[in-house]
A and B are shown apart, each in its own frame.
Chain A
Amino acid sequence: MLSPSLHEQLSSCEAMVMGASAGAVEALNQLLPAVPQDARIPLVVVVHLPANRPSLLPEVFAPRCQAKVLEPDDKQPMTAGNIWFAPSNYHLLIEADRSFAFSTDLPVNFSRPSLDVTFESAADVFGERLCCIVLTGANNDGARGARAVRQNGGLVIVQDPTSADSRQMPEAAISSANPQIIAPLPEIKELIRLATRAA
């Protein structure tokens, strides 16, 4: 089902960024356990969260995942083999030296963290060596960011809206970014496995 060039791009990408909103926990629960302990690349996960309390996602997912699940600190290197969750109440950005940076700038699409902010800065750093995944959600966040990833030559995967808990976010990403792959979760899970497995 995957063309040789997409297969090549996926298995040589150097980072994966994914985002979700409404329905996120259920979707990520299907996907993240597929990431192996010695994952070849770092994965960054942005989920819309309430602002006034710490994110519980690292604690929720750590016991379910083989890979290490972490929340980065400012300027921490974005090391491979880990699943990095964006914390609540900050935007998460990537620096050119592949470390994490944060901002408390205004919410984007009413969200902080915003998928667009992380995707756009990752697109800038990784160019065609980036894979971006947009999952279920009930707003348009991620659409601009996914387009930036696509314009910089990266690979964009969007959850098939008909299979999504909330279809608005995948639909917005599809119309904005013209993704190379639109697929339901079980297929995305296999793509993640392919991208993250050790060479």
Chain B
Amino acid sequence: MPEDIEIRLLLDAIYLRYHYDFRSYSAASIKRRLNAAKLQMNAETLSALQEKILRDPQVFTRLLQFLTVGVSDMFRDPSFFRVFREQVVPELRTYPSIRVWIAGCSTGEELYSFAILLREEGLLERTTLYATDINPEALRKAEQGLYPIERLQAFTENHQLSGSKCSLSEYYTAAYGSAAFDRSLRKNVVFSDHSLATDSVFAEVQLVSCRNVLIYFDRSLQDRALGLMKDSLCRRGFLGLGSKESLMFSEHASAFRDFVASERWFQRC
């Protein structure tokens, strides 16, 4: 199929020109995303899009928004956060200082979910959170912590279902159609550009949360990413994945044991 060839060439071009490596992304998703980008960016073909991208970094910046558009809610899958609160937190409490890595934090919904739960459990003050992503625009939004007010109803429901005794409204102020999350939540957050495809381990942590990021990778890249997480985690450290992600097909499966497998919590052996 000519289109499949165009996709390969375009991803090669992006890698050679901008050092972003999408070559081992899930082909089905990347194809959808590139076709959406092609339409919205008024390119006749992917080859035409490639030509623009090679010559104009701003066009690439636009394309990057299409290639990394995963959308998450705060406290997505509330039962995952309930397990964190009830079963992971008691173990984290035993560490004098805690380091948490939110890998692929996108626009920050997951990050604020963890920061809020850690505050509620009295651990945020002694926790450093590393929030990493490959998309600078998404990182900037994560750092702002501003979300459209329409999204807060779903966030609030999820927050309640995660087992919180407080109201989510204690953590944000609403103004001009947006909810601005309390800056004290990100006092101990380090926002950083980091690629699971091309970068290496940068810290030892007790917890990695990487949810609905691996679904966009093929198996070889999943293994690379899981290898980084494995090497970042201390012994008995925790790994949280998305509800459809598992270690079943990974070469690193034996480095982890199930913690609460039904909620995709694993523990480093």
Contact residues of A between 48 and 107, Cβ < 8 Å to B: 51-52, 54, 72-75, 87, 89-90, 93-96, 101-106
Query: CA separation between A103 and B212, bound complex, in Å?
Result: 8
CB atoms of B72 and A104 under 8 A apart: yes
Query: CA separation between A181 and B95, bound complex, in Å?
Result: 64
A side interface size, CB within 8 A: 24
Query: CA separation between A93 and B29, bound complex, in Å?
Result: 7
CB atoms of A73 and B157 under 8 A apart: no
A75 and B249 in contact (CB under 8 A), knowing A87-B243, A104-B72?
yes
A121 at the interface (CB under 8 A from B): yes
Query: CA separation between A45 and B215, bound complex, in Å?
Result: 20
A191 at the interface (CB under 8 A from B): no
A74 and B69 in contact (CB under 8 A), knowing A93-B28, A103-B32?
no
Q: Mark B245-268, 1 if CB is under 8 A from A, else 0.
A: 110110000000000000000000
A74 and B28 in contact (CB under 8 A), knowing A52-B157, A87-B243, A89-B76?
no
B side interface size, CB within 8 A: 31
Most buried by B among A52, A54, A74, A106: A74
Q: Which residue of B lies closest to A125 (CB)?
A: B28
Query: CA separation between A89 and B211, bound complex, in Å?
Result: 13
Q: Which residue of A lies closest to B214 (CB)?
A: A74
Query: CA separation between A137 and B76, bound complex, in Å?
Result: 27
Contact residues of B between 46 and 73, Cβ < 8 Å to A: 69-73
Q: Which residue of A lies closest to B78 (CB)?
A: A52
A124 at the interface (CB under 8 A from B): yes
Contact residues of A between 98 and 122, Cβ < 8 Å to B: 101-106, 117, 120-121
Task: Find chain B residues with CB under 8 A from A87 CB.
Answer: 243-244
CB atoms of B246 and A74 under 8 A apart: yes
Query: CA separation between A52 and B78, bound complex, in Å?
Result: 8
CB atoms of B27 and A104 under 8 A apart: no
Task: Find chain A residues with CB under 8 A from B29 CB.
Answer: 93, 101, 103, 105
A95 and B32 in contact (CB under 8 A), knowing A73-B248, A89-B76, A105-B71?
no
Most buried by B among A75, A89, A90, A101: A75
CB distance from B134 to the nearest CB of A (A): 16
Query: CA separation between A89 and B212, bound complex, in Å?
Result: 11
CB atoms of A94 and B28 under 8 A apart: yes
A103 and B76 in contact (CB under 8 A), knowing A73-B246, A96-B27?
no
Query: CA separation between A51 and B158, bound complex, in Å?
Result: 11
Q: Which residue of A lies closest to B158 (CB)?
A: A52
Query: CA separation between A71 and B248, bound complex, in Å?
Result: 15
Q: Mark A117-133, 1 if CB is under 8 A from B, else 0.
A: 10011001000000000
6 CB contacts below 8 A, A to B, read A52-B154, A74-B215, A74-B245, A95-B26, A102-B244, A105-B71
Q: A74-B246, A101-B215 are in contact. List 5 more A-B contacts (CB 8 A).
A: A96-B28, A102-B244, A103-B26, A103-B29, A103-B70
Contacts from B to A (Cβ < 8 Å): 26-29, 31-33, 69-73, 76, 78, 154, 157-158, 161, 212, 214-216, 219, 222, 242-246, 248-249
Q: Which 6 A-B pairs have the closest CB atoms?
A: A93-B28, A102-B215, A104-B70, A101-B26, A103-B29, A74-B244
